[in-house]
């Protein structure tokens, strides 16, 4: 058979070379790695924001309790209607009070509430502190309401 410059000899083998397959696998691997890293960062930031929002929701619940009962809750279980029972079940599951589990990388969903009162008159609640785990900074963060620091304030 005679070939001219416009005719191309067809190969009888059809498929991809090993080099083409290796390059394709490498590109897919790089894209998957970038995706996993981005997704992990997204999860950490969303957990951080969720914990912060939950701490602020608890502070709002405290303010609502004050308006309803005309006094601040002295601790998590005291008072008419019990402050703890006024919280949503989602928040109840995540609260830790007193000595026990603290928010950490091992317990990222836990929140610790501190009730702060005047050292001279323990019946006067001056403020609240809520500790929560921030996975972005890998540290415990604190949200406060009212007076929580000072030599005349005790938080428990």
Instruction: State whether residue 25 is helix, strand or coil.
Output: helix
Write the pLDDT tens digit of every residue in 49-101. 887 887 788 788 777 877 887 777 766 664 456 677 777 777 777 776 554 55
| CA 128-133-139 angle, 5° bins | 105
Instruction: State whether residue 130 is helix, strand or coil.
Output: strand
Write the pLDDT tens digit of every residue in 1-58. 555 555 556 556 678 899 999 999 999 999 999 999 999 888 888 877 887 887 788 7
Q: What is residue 43's predicted lDDT score, i.e. its pLDDT?
A: 84
114 forms bridges with which residues in the sheet?
129
């Amino acid at each position: 058979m005679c070939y001219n410059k416009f005719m191309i000899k067809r190969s009888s083998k059809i498929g991809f070379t090993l080099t083409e397959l290796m390059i394709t696998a490498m590109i897919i691997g790089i894209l998957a790695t970038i995706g996993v890293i981005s997704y992990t960062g997204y999860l950490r930031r969303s957990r951080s924001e969720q914990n912060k929002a939950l701490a602020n929701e608890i502070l709002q619940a405290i303010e609502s309790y004050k308006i309803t009962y005309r006094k601040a809750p002295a601790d998590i279980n005291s008072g008419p209607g019990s402050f703890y029972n006024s919280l949503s079940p989602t928040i109840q599951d995540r609260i830790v009070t007193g000595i026990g589990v603290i928010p950490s990388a091992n317990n990222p969903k836990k929140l610790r509430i501190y009730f702060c009162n005047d050292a001279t008159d323990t019946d006067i609640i001056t403020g609240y502190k809520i500790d929560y785990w921030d996975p972005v900074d890998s540290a415990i963060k604190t949200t406060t309401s009212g007076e929580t620091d000072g030599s005349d304030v005790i938080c428990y």
